Each structure stands twice: as structure tokens, then as C-alpha cells.
Amino acid sequence: MEPALAQESAVCEAERLPEMISGFFQLTTAVGLMGLVVVWQADSLVEMFTVRPDQREALKRHKRTALKSAVVLLVLGPLTTVAGSMMNLPIAQCVDLTPW
């Protein structure tokens, strides 16, 4: 019986699973960024036709929230990859979560 650290991860041993996980993360990141662009443009368009200051401020808050979500989406994958490498997690050696 091998020690726990010497054993290979079941995810890494699977034939195409690491590439599928990486591809899924890249796809969801791309869809999230496209969603940000759509939300930003829609909010900007609605903001042009909004007269009340409270509505305009609500739209600006919504745009800021969408931007924060996109930043989290872009930072989460690389941060998880780096943290997994630092903690010597076996999955970090075979799955790349950076979106680029």
C-alpha cells in the first residue's frame, strides 16, 4: 500500500478528464465575460434613457457588481491553481484552471 501523498489522483489517472475540467473552466470563464459585456452594454443603454437619479444610481451599482463578479471569475482559477500547488494537492499537477 502506498502512502497517501505518493498515490496518483483519480482525476489525473482518468484518460481525458483533466483536459475536460480545464476546458469546462475556460468555457465558463468565457461565457461569464461575455455576460459581463452584455450586462454592461444593456445597463449603459438603459442608463441613457433613465431620467431619475435613483434609477441611474441603481444601474451604476449593478454595473459595479457585474464588474466585481467578472474579476472574481478571472482571479479564482489561477488562485486555486497556485493554492493547490502550494498545498501539494495532486489535482493541481494535472488540471490547469487558468482561463487563458
Q: Please give the residue that has the higher pLDDT: either 16 or 62.
A: 62
Q: Position of cell 482559477?
A: 77
pTM for the predicted model, two decimal places = 0.73
Q: How many CA atoms lie within 13 A of 3 on its CB side?
A: 2
- Residue 8 pLDDT more than 70? no
Residue 97: pLDDT band (50, 70, 90) is: confident
What's the mean per-residue pLDDT of the chain? 84
Comparing CA positions, the residue from 21, 1, 7, 2 lying closest to residue 88 is 7
- Residue 43 pLDDT more than 80? yes
Domain boundaries, given as residue ranges, for the chain: 17-33+42-94
pLDDT of residue 26: 87
Q: Count CB atoms within 10 A of the CB of residue 19.
A: 13
